[in-house]
Amino acid sequence: MKVLVIGSGGREHAIVRALADDPAVTDLFCAPGNGGTDDVATCLPVVATDPDQVAALATSLGVDLVVIGPEAPLVAGVADAVRSAGIACFGPSAKAAVLEGSKAFAKEVMAAAGVPTARSAVCTTAAEAATALDDFGAPYVVKDDGLAAGKGVVVTSDRDEALAHAAACERVVIEEYLDGPEVSLFVLTDGDSALALSPAQDFKRINDGDEGPNTGGMGAYTPLPWAPAGLVDEVLTSVVHPTLAELRRRDTAFTGLLYVGLALTSQGLRVVEFNARFGDPETQAVLARLESPFGELLMAAATGRLGEHPALLWSQGSAVTVVLAAAGYPDAPITGTVITGIEDAQAMEGVSVLHAGTNRASDGTLTSSGGRVLSVTAIGENLSQARARAYEAIARIDLAGGHYRTDIALRAALSE
């Protein structure tokens, strides 16, 4: 099987590594890729959000399957263009990807499907926003309606800050605050059948103790020793299947990866958000434990055969991912900084380093090219061992001004 992966982040590096481990995958391409993806894939330039370019590249390479990593190409219709070219594609149509592209649309689908989520109001004026804020009360949750790379959400007890964020966006969703731990559940689907991956938790704030601004994600771990038994089945029954059915009813069947972001509140589980693709950095941790052949799995989802797929196989133990961010991230990341020590980190047992914002020069020098530069994933017998390995490995990597959280999976490890 020949496979082309679209994207350039840590998630895509994790996806190509997992595909490379599947003996059925004979040829592996990644476009545009990053400074690390060429370890297992042939990297080619492409404008990932250009549907015609991606479809033409897939056709010229003669691939059997295209896997689309990030949300922007999906919303731009890249999966539609690839399928129109007669090639199987893992990723939803532009119409179905609106589930991530518009928070207001996601809320509408959830309401129609009876899916538990925070009460919310869509606001386009300052007066509407003020009324909604006072209606729901503090802490305030204000979400930019459109795609914002994980940075469009403000959660604050400061009413002026909440109003200012609403004013800075054209259209916002204001909603009730959900307390309780968050869970990321990735569900593979062919539109009808659904297979859940191992639940994970990510850490969105920049600093230890969940302080500071939201980021794309600073770390993750899986599985969740504290999660209630039956959680995955409950999410499939109360969230995933009703949502997939509602989308089929609207003639926008969703195929690919449905990312269910949940809060486990005192009132029961609630959907915080849907995404239309694998989460980053949870994917790096989740795929580190997946033993089922990944190419076959994605192909089954892309071609409507997921219902025939055997139960997924997982390695015992846990995985922890820690993200190394550039100086200045998330506000104004400094790029062009030399990175060393990756080989030393990767020499450790159970450790893999996955690149995100990196660039390799023709002389082999590796430099940073983005805010989240790379992540270190370690597997271990339990979370404590995986954490210890991940932190020892990340300490071996040198990036001037680089920073990472020191408390990824800490609380969960203490509870095992």
Alpha-carbon torsion, ordered 388, 391, 392, 396, to 10 deg: 170
- What per-residue string of b and e applies to 228-253 under the rule 16 or more CB within 10 Å gives b? eeebbeebbebbbbbbbebbeeeebb
The neighbouring-strand residues paired with 274 are 260
Check binding of 202 to ligand GLY (CB under 6 A).
yes
178 binds, options ligand GLY, ligand AMP, none, Cβ within 5 to 8 A by partner type = ligand AMP
Check binding of 272 to ligand AMP (CB under 6 A).
yes
Give the helix ranges, DSSP H, for 37-152. 51-61, 71-76, 78-84, 94-101, 103-113, 126-136
Instruction: Give 176 or 202: the residue with its C-beta nearer to ligand GLY.
Output: 202
DSSP 307: G
> In angstroms, rounded to a whole number, what is the distance separating the alpha carbons of residues 312 and 309?
8
Instruction: Give 9 or 380: the residue with its C-beta nearer to ligand AMP.
Output: 9
Considering only residues 222-261, where is the footprint of ligand AMP by CB under 6 A? Answer: 261
Residue 138 phi/psi, 5° resolution?
-80, 155
Question: Which residue of this chain has its Cβ atom nearest to ligand AMP in the complex?
Answer: 273
Give the residue, chosen from 273, 318, 321, 372, that forms a contact with ligand AMP under the rule CB under 6 A: 273
Give the residue, chosen from 9, 191, 223, 279, that forms a contact with ligand GLY under the rule CB under 6 A: 279
Size of the site for ligand AMP (CB under 6 A): 14
Residue 208 phi/psi, 5° resolution?
-50, 150
Give the residue, chosen from 22, 80, 175, 246, that forms a contact with ligand AMP under the rule CB under 6 A: 175
155 binds, options ligand AMP, ligand GLY, none, Cβ within 5 to 8 A by partner type = ligand AMP
- Please choose, out of 50-58, 277-285, 367-375, 403-411, the segment that lies near ligand GLY by the rule CB under 6 A: 277-285
Cβ 293 to ligand AMP shortest distance, Å = 31
Query: 330 preceded by cis ω (within 30°)?
Result: yes
Size of the site for ligand GLY (CB under 6 A): 7
> In angstroms, rounded to a whole number, what is the distance separating the alpha carbons of residues 177 and 272?
10
> In angstroms, rounded to a whole number, what is the distance separating the alpha carbons of residues 110 and 332?
35
**How far, rounded to the nearest angstrom, does the alpha carbon of residue 179 sit from its chain's CA centroid?**
21
Cβ 285 to ligand GLY shortest distance, Å = 11
Residue of 133, 184, 134, 135 whose CA lies nearest to 154: 133
Residue of 34, 31, 65 whose CA lies nearest to 48: 31
Cβ 240 to ligand AMP shortest distance, Å = 17
Give the residue, chosen from 8, 93, 189, 275, that forms a contact with ligand GLY under the rule CB under 6 A: 275
279 binds, options ligand AMP, ligand GLY, none, Cβ within 5 to 8 A by partner type = ligand GLY
In which element (H, E) is residue 249 found? helix 241-249
Query: 281 preceded by cis ω (within 30°)?
Result: yes
| Amino acid at the residue 201 | Q
DSSP 239: I
Give the residue, chosen from 223, 282, 358, 383, that forms a contact with ligand GLY under the rule CB under 6 A: 282
User: Which positions from 203 to 242 touch ligand GLY by CB under 6 A, shown as an x/- string?
Assistant: --------------x-------------------------
Instruction: Give 219 or 293: the residue with its C-beta nearer to ligand GLY.
Output: 219
Check binding of 107 to ligand AMP (CB under 6 A).
no
User: What CA–CA distances, in Å, run from 90 to 4, 68, 71, 295, 314?
Assistant: 10, 6, 12, 10, 21
Instruction: Give 22 or 280: the residue with its C-beta nearer to ligand GLY.
Output: 280
Cβ 8 to ligand AMP shortest distance, Å = 21
Cβ 55 to ligand AMP shortest distance, Å = 29
Read off the tokens for 131: 């009324």
Instruction: Give 35 or 279: the residue with its C-beta nearer to ligand GLY.
Output: 279
Considering only residues 128-167, where is the footprint of ligand AMP by CB under 6 A? Answer: 141, 143, 153, 155
Read off the tokens for 364: 């082999």
Chain residues that interact with ligand GLY, rule: CB under 6 A: 150, 202, 217, 275, 279-280, 282
